[in-house]
Structure 1
């Protein structure tokens, strides 16, 4: 199944997609379509899920190719150290949190008030870190990075 009209192919300019090297395409495709309410655009080779105004592209790893010599793609080996993560902004973090929990997301904590935003983290089936945040104080000019104290 391919929905050609929904493929990430701009008519002009550019658009950003996010490519993930995954261990199991079917599991990851289902996770991103369920947790984020994404639309499966391509089942595999690669799998593409349209999520809001972006696309998540998933394929197994592999060795170097002529256009990326010396580069091997592989899923994360460990979750303790990361160099990048998916940052998702939502309008209603409580609703997203409830929805994601119901679809198997395993959050580190409930959303925490950081002053400028409400935020929480979880991992996908391959261990990729995902931040979910809702701007709150940031919209009022608050740029705090520590939790707000309640009295």
Structure 2
């Protein structure tokens, strides 16, 4: 099993964004003594996504602090256009509009926390 574990500058806001944009459901969380979220598990269409607030003392830096995205996440969905539009409406920034690419319809965006996402769905022949 491989699970992305993202660091963000505001984990509570990220949970709300991922719920609105991708239908994420929170399945567990742990707080640090200072109130930061040290770990939260989200489920998106049966896949897991973990995230935390920044914790520089543990080497956890968000893209905002790093000055750039440090990874991209690929999300396979049934309707790339609908999910892409929902994410943009929730606050994501357009990178590349969805288009047919090979056997997929694919679009790229950047979430409000600096992480790049490719949203893809299979093309039906």
Bucket of the pairwise TM-score, normalised by the shorter protein: 0.7 to 0.9
> d(CA) in 2 for partners of 1:61 and 1:98?
28
What TM-score comes out, normalization by structure 1 length? Answer: 0.65
Higher relative contact order (CA 8 A, sep 6+): 2
Q: CA deviation at 1:36?
A: 0.7
Q: Aligned pair 1:28/2:14, yes or no?
A: yes
> d(CA) in 2 for partners of 1:41 and 1:52?
13
What TM-score comes out, normalization by structure 2 length? Answer: 0.77
Higher strand share: 2
Which has the greater radius of gyration? Answer: 1
Q: CA deviation at 1:19?
A: 0.6
Q: Secondary structure of 1:119's match?
A: strand
The answer for unaligned runs of 5 or more in structure 2 is 30-36
The answer for unaligned runs of 5 or more in structure 1 is 1-14, 65-71, 141-151
Q: What CA RMSD, in Å, does the superposition of the two structures yield over aligned residues?
A: 2.2
Map of 2:52 onto structure 1: 59
Map of 1:47 onto structure 2: 40
| Off by >4 Å, runs of 4+ in structure 1 | none
> d(CA) in 2 for partners of 1:60 and 1:24?
6
Q: Aligned pair 1:78/2:67, yes or no?
A: yes
Check 1:83–1:97 CA distance in 2 against 1; reply closer, same or farther (3 A cut).
Answer: closer
> d(CA) in 2 for partners of 1:61 and 1:103?
22
